[in-house]
Amino acid sequence: MTNLEEIAHELDDAMLHARPVPQRREPLTVAQAYDIQSASLARRYARGERRIGMKMGFTSRAKMAQMNLSEMIWGRITDGMLIEAGGSAPRSRFVHPRVEPEVAFLLKRPLAGRIDPMTAMAAVEAVAPALEVIDSRYVDFKFSLTDVIADNSSSSGLVIGAWADPAVDLSNLGIVMQIDGAARQIGSTAAILSNPLYSLVAAARLVAERGEQLEAGHIVMAGGATAAEALQAGNHVRLRIEKLGSVAFTLT
């Protein structure tokens, strides 16, 4: 079997050159897939990128149904993935970008392990509406659970709106995601594990399983509330979440 470092190298190169690779033929364990993810992120850190948090995946039925997978996954996010709110990102950076509406948490305290929602809430400095640009490094955006974990759970870009007071009840806020002015996905934050806060609770547990913790200052992306939408050069994407506000960007 190909060694894990080689697979990490291959996925990192696919990301760097926006050139997709075939799905893996040899099966991996979930632990090996996260080892590959760590090794591929180590390459990004070595190039000067900085870890800024984590993203959760498959925290809504809409996302699970779209990708035909049903287990929560997570990935690491870096400063190199940030797209300025109201700004733009070039289409050439991606293989086949898709966008999805999310909620972002900013932490003021570390979190790890089995915690209750009250503890999670107490560690939150602010919340924001956020767009995640996912991009699979696999041909045709098709993958198994371990493939996608190894590929940093399709992490590619993120746009974070203005940070808001975390006191707002996140359990059922209306979501509208528009592309070029037309509403393409409509939903509710309730789609994210019934409340995005539960995604933060799950995030703390999942990182601890890998011997890590969420750090003060980290951003945690709660996961897409709706199916993701494919993007083309020139698309302007705008997300509005009730009570949290709006965030937008353009793919150039």
Candidates 2-10, 51-59, 181-189, 199-207: pick the segment binding ligand OOG (CB under 6 A): 51-59
Of 54, 1, 6, the C-alpha closest to 210 is 54
Q: Which of 54, 67, 95, 158 binds ligand OOG (CB under 6 A)?
A: 67
The DSSP bridge partners found for residue 56 are: 74
Nearer of residues 132 and 135 to Mg ion, judged by Cβ: 132
Under rule CB under 5 A, residue 224 binds Mg ion: yes
Q: Which of residues 98-157 bind ligand OOG (CB under 6 A)?
A: 100, 132, 134, 136, 148, 153-154
Shortest distance, position 196 Cβ to Mg ion, whole Å: 12
Of 3, 55, 6, the C-alpha closest to 207 is 55
Helix (H, G, I), strand (E, B) or coil at 33: helix
Q: Give the amino acid at 219.
A: I
In the block, which residue shows the tokens 């037309």? 182
Candidates 23-31, 78-86, 127-135, 136-144: pick the segment binding Mg ion (CB under 5 A): 127-135
Strands 229-230 and 98-107: antiparallel
Shortest distance, position 93 Cβ to ligand OOG, whole Å: 16
Nearer of residues 64 and 167 to ligand OOG, judged by Cβ: 64
CA atoms of 197 and 40, how far apart (whole Å) = 29
Nearer of residues 57 and 187 to ligand OOG, judged by Cβ: 57
Name the strand (E) or helix (H) holding 205: helix 196-209
Q: Which of 157, 161, 187, 224 binds ligand OOG (CB under 6 A)?
A: 224
CA atoms of 223 and 202, how far apart (whole Å) = 11
Interface with ligand OOG by CB under 6 A: which residues?
55, 57-58, 63, 67, 100, 132, 134, 136, 148, 153-154, 223-224
